[in-house]
Amino acid sequence: MSDVIRKDPRKNWILRNRLHPLHEQVVAEMNGPAAVVRGPSGLIRKNPHAVGFIGPNGIKRIDRLGGSGSAAASAKREQQEEQLPIIAIEQPQSYVVVVVDAANGELSAHDRDVLGQARLLADGRAENTAVVALVFGALKAALGEAANPDHAFGLAGADRVMLFDDECYAGFAPEQQLEAMLAVDRQLSPVNWLFPDTHLSGNDRALRLAARLGERPAMHAWQIKDGKVTSRGGSEMTDITRDLAAATAPRILALASECALPVDEARYEARLLPLPSVPNAMVRIKDAGAVAVDPNQIAMGEAEFILSAGNGIHDWDQFHATAAALGATEGASRVAVDNGFMPRFRQVGATGTWVTARVYIAVGISGAVQHLQGIGSCEKVIAINTDAGCDMVKRADLSVIGDSQEILAALKARAEQGAVAVSEPQQGKADGESNHNVA
Ligand SMILES: Cc1cc2nc3c(=O)[nH]c(=O)nc-3n(C[C@H](O)[C@H](O)[C@H](O)COP(=O)(O)OP(=O)(O)OC[C@H]3O[C@@H](n4cnc5c(N)ncnc54)[C@H](O)[C@@H]3O)c2cc1C
């Protein structure tokens, strides 16, 4: 057998395909020694020569995102989460209740911050105190995180979960939800009620509960420190600080996002609690469903679904038409803005807007570090690019390798087909019934 080193096309293909189940294994095989090893003395040592990996074209690459986008890496993360020790509180003597928004059936980043704050309050008490996550409406089947729906709540810091998922609690149902909160208040007498301070959910619920109980809540609270809660008041001009140990301390708190760090490196039990019996409310408000809004009127920082354009877009009319068909908010790379194809306020990145979309589709964007900084908090990133080795493809959870024009044409056609298929059965609905954006 000759000594000539030959390329293995299959291995090369697996190397290029970060989503292939054998990708990590082949990368390890091709790269030799591990970057982090335990030395003979037992100390962990870094091998600087082993950092990075050799890409399919023979060039050494460093994965700055730690391979966080790959399927193997997310499986590893899930495995690590499974291995976290479960902290259980058997006989709670008191409770801190968090009414999570769980909009779209999933915990939001704001929900996690508030659960993190609840954890601090509960753990700071002398008696055994459990954090209860109270949820209205159905949850996504797997909460997008693991097969067990309690899993996400456990990782977010909840000892107990109360799931009011009957139809009557779904959507905007403030009267029935208030009855449920009053029933929980009678059953658990929580030391604190915490809400994410969001307009139509947490803020509204906190005010209704406080009004019915005749208590003075702390709204727009952004910090709890040294036994004091600080709220923003006076038209956002002044801070109001109240002592949490005082007899008149607020029990009901509506908290701003980033009020505390979300729980990390611990897993709680998230045991489902039986629900109290809840009297039927006299319902005067009916939720008529979501109303379609122009996605381009949504502020970039708040947009949940962004179709973003870069230098790889060659037909701008097609890009705008596709964004409209998908119902996506438009974003852009700096090059697209500098070249005059998109307005400056659409720029995503370090010197543009930092976005937090649930889905971010980057079309013809290479993934420069300044752009990646702006999408660090996006939940799912999809790359459409001709270059399978570009940094955006490495960052993405899903990549489509090909010409942007062809893929956008297919995407637009599929979106229009989908919209027709979904909207047809709705024809003939009575006025006042739900009007969901089907795009
Ligand atoms: C101080 C500073 C601040 C910056 N701030 C920002 C910022 O906030 N935001 C930002 O975005 N940039 C910022 N930049 C610029 C950044 O460094 C990059 O230059 C820029 O992001 C590149 O934009 P791009 O990916 O659209 O273009 P390119 O780098 O030109 O990439 C184009 C991509 O399109 C792909 N492509 C080409 N043709 C096609 C096709 N037909 N179909 C599909 N794909 C195709 C290519 O493979 C390539 O990956 C900043 C730079 C500096 C120095």
147: helix, strand or coil:
coil
Give the number of the atom of ligand 1 that is nearest the alpha carbon of residue 349: 8
Q: For 211-243, write each residue's pLDDT tens digit.
A: 999 999 999 999 999 999 999 987 778 899 999
- Ordered structural domains, the chain, with CATH: 9-83 (no CATH), 86-272 (3.40.50.620), 295-425 (3.40.50.1220)
Count Cα atoms within 13 angstroms, Cβ side, for 139: 25
Stretch 32-61: mean pLDDT = 54
Cβ–ligand 1 distance for 175 under 6 Å, the answer: no
Q: How far is CA 221 from CA 118, 194, 237, 241, in A?
A: 13, 10, 14, 9
Q: Distance from the CA of 373 to the center of ligand 1, in angstroms?
A: 13
Stretch 229-258: mean pLDDT = 90
Cβ–ligand 1 distance for 353 under 6 Å, the answer: no
pLDDT at 419: 63
Cβ–ligand 1 distance for 390 under 6 Å, the answer: yes
pTM for this entry:
0.62
Structure tokens that stand for 158 in this block? 């909840």
φ/ψ of residue 133, rounded to 5: -95, 120
Q: Is the dihedral of CA 65, 87, 185, 281 positive or negative?
A: positive
Q: Distance from the CA of 425 to the center of ligand 1, in angstroms?
A: 42
Count Cα atoms within 13 angstroms, Cβ side, for 329: 25
Question: Which helix (H) or strand (E) is 331 found in, with range?
Answer: strand 329-332
pLDDT at 197: 94
36: helix, strand or coil:
strand
Q: How far apart are CA 114 and CA 337, in angstroms?
A: 37
Residue 429 clears pLDDT 60, i.e. is over it: no
For 64-68, 126-130, 388-392, 415-419, which range has the lowest pLDDT when averaged over its residues? Answer: 64-68
The residue whose CA is least distant from atom 15 of ligand 1 is 334
Query: Pseudo-torsion of CA 350, 356, 362, 368, nearest 10°?
Result: 20
Q: Distance from the CA of 323 to the center of ligand 1, in angstroms?
A: 19
Cβ–ligand 1 distance for 333 under 6 Å, the answer: yes
Characterize 232-259 residue by residue with b for buried, 16 or more Cβ atoms within 10 angstroms of its Cβ, and e for exposed.
beeeeeeeeebebeeeebbbbbbbbbeb
Q: Which amino acid is at 306?
A: I
Residue 272 clears pLDDT 60, i.e. is over it: yes
Q: How far is CA 386 from CA 113, 338, 342, 390, 403, in A?
A: 38, 22, 21, 9, 6
For 53-67, 108-122, 193-207, 225-239, which range has the lowest pLDDT when averaged over its residues? Answer: 53-67
